Amino acid sequence: MKRHGFYGLTAVVFLLALTACNDDDETGTPYPSVVTEMADMHTDGNGAVERILTDNGDCFYLTNPRQGYSPLAVYRGLCGYVETTSSGKERRARLATLRSVRLLRDSTAIPQRTDPIRAVSVWRGGEYINLMLSPRTQGGTQYWGYRIDSLKERNHRKHWYLSLHHGQNGDPESYSETLYASLWLKSLPEAAPGDSLWLTVPTPAGLKTWDFIY
């Protein structure tokens, strides 16, 4: 399957409006809570998102499949969903909200860009390193990716030193927005469980590094 991020101009897509996720309706029945998680979104042969696989390893088949995507592909998204029913081993959920996630590509082979970016949060989720960033923009195109700065091997384990590739590309720093991004660990050649990873992000306060174990 092909693996995609979202690259639309609109950062937030509301698939279904939920007016009061945790309030009671007029009959006194509580609305189910929406769970929000990073997830891989798998499409079928017709280009409809039929299931999501969360970073926690939960798989849900959607009761409201989403149309208009490439067939037999995997997209990355921040999904808000409500689990509905289960049929045997098959769990089902209704997709409530979807926020775009940029899938970072290997930019090692191109000139390095280290324009500072505010990193709100960086964490490991499943096969990904996820980032919540706060770029300043006027709606222009900025460059995103990751670089393999160096790779060392000690005690039969690999040690990956990575950095965020970010180019402002002349986009005026007019206002802040929230951007989610993911680095797919399986895109690192020959990376294996037990490897150590360091990810450095150029922030306005200087370089900041996070470390993880694959």
Indicate if the pLDDT at residue 12 is higher than 50.
no
pTM as predicted: 0.84
**With the C-alpha atoms ordered 16, 34, 98, 135, is the resulting torsion angle positive or negative?**
positive
Distance between CA atoms of 114 and 206, rounded to whole angstroms? 11
Percent of the chain with pLDDT over 90: 80
pLDDT of 155: 84
Degrees, nearest 5: CA angle 118-120-121: 130
pLDDT digits 0-9 by tens, 136-191: 999 999 999 999 999 999 888 999 999 999 999 999 999 999 999 999 999 999 99
Indicate if the pLDDT at residue 27 is higher than 50.
no
pLDDT of 2: 61
Lookup: tokens for 12: 């937030």
Indicate if the pLDDT at residue 97 is higher than 50.
yes
Report the largest interatomic distance among the alpha carbons of the chain, rounded to a whole angstrom. 63
pLDDT, greater one: 13 or 3? 3
Distance between CA atoms of 53 and 194, rounded to whole angstroms? 23
Q: Summarize the confidence of residues 104-126 as an average pLDDT.
A: 97
